[in-house]
Structure 1
Amino acid sequence: MQLFAISLRRVFAAASVVLASAACATPSPEFECIAGAQPGGGFDRTCKLLRTAFADDPSLNRHFRIRHMPGGIGAVAWHTVTSQRRAEPNTLVAFSTGSVLNIVLGRFGKGTVNDVRWIATVGADHGAVAVRADAPYADLPSLLAHLKAKPSSVIFGGGGRLGSQDWMKSALVARAAGVPHKAMRYVAFEGGGESLTALISGHIHVYAGDASEIAPFVKSGEVRLLTVLAAARLPGVLSNVPTPRELGVSIEEWTTVRGVYAGPDVPPADVERLTRIFERISRSESFVKARDDLGMTPFNLRGEALTTYVKKDAQRLKKLASDFGLGSP
């Protein structure tokens, strides 16, 4: 009996060591990045960019999961985090300038930019005008000439309905051709991924989206990029694509900031921890290369600085919406 008791104690002791070792080896809680649209669009690419950076950081021994949550171009993801997952520090939601525009237009319900924790940006994207590779438009001026002559023959498409970011970029292109935005034919889709599928399949003729969404399809030869709505040509794979200014066309620049936010009840200490993580990974070689390969440019804001930027940008977008008759500043 005594020998049995000793053996039992040894078993418990050994089990304790195994459990303690297992506890030490257990990965930290996983990160989840929510992309508020179907795969293939800007939200998806933001999450994939972060997954690459987190995987190459030895201090982040954590799983990184991407969850696609389409609906309202980010509205479902917004409501999920602001109502059900308010205090989850490792749940991040991809956002863009278009998300801020949707908030301003009331498309996320009664939400305001004060209702979440703005964590960090991953870079700046730029508006881009794309057509199918076999389209009859050799360049932007030829598209505008055709649009001016026969406005109803050109179908634009983009992520989101009237007043969305892609709609506004389309309206700017139409305006450059002398076509009022009310005369523009536009088809709304659930994000950039669906829009590009529609473009390649011939259901629409023009997609005024973002460079990072379109770049892979330029590489594959399925899409022709006519212009990037930036002050200067982008580096990397899109360096041969001209700006409107180079082509003698007057279209406003369109910069799309991409990043992530978290729930409103995430503790300040966790927000600070996340901003330190993003500060570190933004300098890593893998992150910089992945960002450049997507056709994005550096844009690094975190925490309070990002919150201040978002609030200011919300006012700018509110005025732009008013200019198109979509609201009042």
Structure 2
Amino acid sequence: MGFKTKSWKTILITSAVTVSLSALTACGSSSSGGSAAADYPTKPIVVTAPSGAGGGWDKTARSLIKVLDETDLVEQTMTVENKPGGGGVVFLAEYVTKDKDDPYKLFVSSPPLLINNLKKEGNSPYGYKDVTPLAQLTRDYGAIAVAADSKYNDIQSLIDDIKADPTKVTLAGGSAPGSMDHLISILPAFNQGVDPKTIKYLSYDGGGEAIAALLGKNADAIGTDISSLGSYLKSGDIKILAVTSNERLGGDFTDVPTLKESGIDAEFTIWRGVLGPKNMTEEQVAFWDETLKSLSEHETWKKELEANAWESEYKNAADFTAFLEEQETVVQELLTALGMQK
């Protein structure tokens, strides 16, 4: 998972789905059926997407509760709540201070959980250590997209215009400056020697708003997770110039070239996981270890992954926490290279 400042050869950042769930009482073995384990959860669960509708967090949260319901892995009602603002910063501040003892409130997140805590501008005083990582579930990739009628038909032509005059090309994303979408947006040009601080970037509260800006001619291109672009590609509203994976993806994205195919030696992998409030009990964490592992192995979940062009990447609570600790170091190096570190 090395990170090279000059080449951006490998950037492994992962998006986390955070889910905060109801107070779990002592749970023995998975088959014990003890009354304490059977009592959790006993009321509806809210899963928050810290953004507007239409982006990766929103889609992840909705897919998660859909499959947990369809498979009866969670019997209680689960709903999604959208709380946009500052690329997750506004939500996390409220969550950490008000909901730290409420395991019936979950939330979805991604690399911004780390980025927002480590960047200089618009940062969050809170990070993964202020919540309880429960599981990494998926792996996604970044993409650069333009409107269908854009003059740009390949990533190099976009980069050439940015090189010629960065003030005349506007990039956009569904999260704040210094965030994941920002890093995806500037990655290709940065790799070819453009000072990232000179690149124009507009931030919106969610991928849906960023795409609306693109289609409304308020941006020349957007950087976001490729899984949120499938429906717009199918409808013919956009063109995807490049994906940040090592190899071409399948399904609807078969014809999308990788950055490497375009001569840009860079990769950006997005993780997504599930997190809960800080003060979860060991028994509650154990419940989610069991439940989310079962989810990751279920055929219904695998079909949902395929439909969204996500790849499965399951880590339990302990492994996910260790992974986030490693990623914190990678993100710090990345932000330092951009002069955006705290």
TM-score range, shorter chain: 0.7 to 0.9
Question: 2:321 aligns to what?
Answer: 307
Question: 2:341 aligns to what?
Answer: 327
Question: 2:269 aligns to what?
Answer: 255
Q: 2:154 aligns with which of 133, 139, 142?
A: 139
Question: 2:54 aligns to what?
Answer: 40
| 1:163-178 equivalences in 2 (<5 Å) | 163-178=178-193
Q: 1:162 aligns with which of 164, 173, 177?
A: 177
CA contact (8 A) 1:77 1:93 kept: no
**Cα displacement string for residues 162-205 of structure 1 (whole angstroms, at most 9, x for unaligned residues):** 31111122221222454321221111111212111101111101
CA contact (8 A) 2:162 2:199 kept: no
Q: Could you say if the C-alpha distance between residues 278 and 139 of structure 1 is closer, same or farther in structure 2, counting changes exceeding 3 Å? A: same
Question: 2:239 aligns to what?
Answer: 224
The CA distance in 2 between the partners of 1:155 and 1:109, in whole Å, is: 26
The CA distance in 2 between the partners of 1:65 and 1:236, in whole Å, is: 29
Q: Could you say if the C-alpha distance between residues 200 and 177 of structure 1 is closer, same or farther in structure 2, counting changes exceeding 3 Å? A: farther
| Code of the aligned partner of 1:184 | I
| 2:257 paired with 1:242 | yes
Q: Choose 223-232 or 182-191, whichever is displaced more.
A: 182-191
Q: What secondary structure, in the 3-state scheme, does the structure 2 residue paired with 1:130 have? A: strand
| Code of the aligned partner of 1:127 | G
CA contact (8 A) 2:141 2:243 kept: yes
Q: 2:45 aligns with which of 20, 24, 31?
A: 31
TM-score normalised by length of structure 1: 0.87
Question: 1:213 aligns to what?
Answer: 228
Q: Choose 236-245 or 271-280, whichever is displaced more.
A: 236-245
Q: Which has the higher helix share?
A: 1
Q: 1:84 aligns with which of 92, 98, 102?
A: 98
The CA distance in 2 between the partners of 1:118 and 1:298, in whole Å, is: 17
What is the root-mean-square deviation of aligned Cα atoms in Å? 1.9
Q: What secondary structure, in the 3-state scheme, does the structure 1 residue paired with 2:102 have? A: coil
Question: 2:298 aligns to what?
Answer: 284
CA contact (8 A) 1:52 1:286 kept: no
**Cα displacement string for residues 190-243 of structure 1 (whole angstroms, at most 9, x for unaligned residues):** 121211110111110110111111122112211111110011112222122111
**Cα displacement string for residues 259-278 of structure 1 (whole angstroms, at most 9, x for unaligned residues):** 22110011110111012110
Unpaired segments ≥5 residues, structure 1: 1-23
TM-score normalised by length of structure 2: 0.83
Question: 2:128 aligns to what?
Answer: 113
Q: Could you say if the C-alpha distance between residues 178 and 109 of structure 1 is closer, same or farther in structure 2, counting changes exceeding 3 Å? A: closer
Q: What secondary structure, in the 3-state scheme, does the structure 2 residue paired with 1:299 have? A: strand
| 2:71 paired with 1:52 | no
Percent identity over paired residues? 26
Q: Choose 32-41 or 185-194, whichever is displaced more.
A: 185-194
Q: Choose 110-119 or 27-36, whichever is displaced more.
A: 27-36
| 1:256 Cα offset (Å) | 1.0
Question: 1:71 aligns to what?
Answer: 85
- Report the number of matched residues: 302
Question: 1:16 aligns to what?
Answer: none
The CA distance in 2 between the partners of 1:140 and 1:40, in whole Å, is: 24
| 1:90-109 equivalences in 2 (<5 Å) | 90-105=104-119, 107=122, 109=124
| 1:41 Cα offset (Å) | 1.0
Q: Choose 102-111 or 128-137, whichever is displaced more.
A: 102-111
Q: What secondary structure, in the 3-state scheme, does the structure 2 residue paired with 1:282 have? A: helix
**Cα displacement string for residues 74-96 of structure 1 (whole angstroms, at most 9, x for unaligned residues):** 12221222111112223211010
Q: Could you say if the C-alpha distance between residues 148 and 110 of structure 1 is closer, same or farther in structure 2, counting changes exceeding 3 Å? A: closer
| Code of the aligned partner of 2:140 | D
Unpaired segments ≥5 residues, structure 2: 1-37
CA contact (8 A) 1:147 1:177 kept: no
